[in-house]
Amino acid sequence: AQSVTQLGSHVSVSEGALVLLRCNYSSSVPPYLFWYVQYPNQGLQLLLKYTSAATLVKGINGFEAEFKKSETSFHLTKPSAHMSDAAEYFCAVRFSGSARQLTFGSGTQLTVLP
């Protein structure tokens, strides 16, 4: 079955430290990949997307993600965490043949420590 796995339901980093949030998917065909952020009591906001162009994708708020086909991964990174980055992050995948629906991971809650 096609699935999306986010390793680590909670990640804590110090302000200014590297942020690394992991996402792996199960599919032999490279899908479309997305990262969303959800702040408390708000809707999901698109951070960035991979749609078969450059494998290193830059998004908003200084985030970027690299698609690695050999590892079936799409990890999200940011060089220096800011307090305002504290939120829940979701990796989402549109698998080939799944029409327009997205399959989401279970999310990673990012805490930024002062």
Among 2, 44, 77, 86, binds another protein (CB under 8 A): 44
| Degrees, nearest 5: CA angle 83-88-89 | 105
95 binds another protein (CB under 8 A): no
> Is residue 45 part of the contact set for another protein (CB under 8 A)?
yes
For 52, counting Cβ atoms within 10 Å of its Cβ (0-12 exposed, 13-18 middle, 19+ buried), the class is exposed
Give least dist CB 92 to another protein, A. Answer: 8
Q: Does 4 bind another protein (CB under 8 A)?
A: yes
Helix, strand or coil, per DSSP, at residue 8: coil
Residue matched to tokens 């065909």:
29
> Does the protein bind another protein through residue 49 (CB under 8 A)?
yes
Residue 105 within binding range of another protein, rule CB under 8 A? yes
70 binds another protein (CB under 8 A): no
- Which CA distances in Å does 28 have to 47, 48, 92, 103, 112? 25, 22, 16, 16, 35
Q: Which of 12-20, 67-75, 78-86, 91-99 is the region at the interface with another protein (rule: CB under 8 A)?
A: 91-99
Enumerate binding residues for another protein (CB under 8 A): 4, 6, 9, 32, 34, 36, 41-46, 49, 51, 90, 92, 94, 99-107
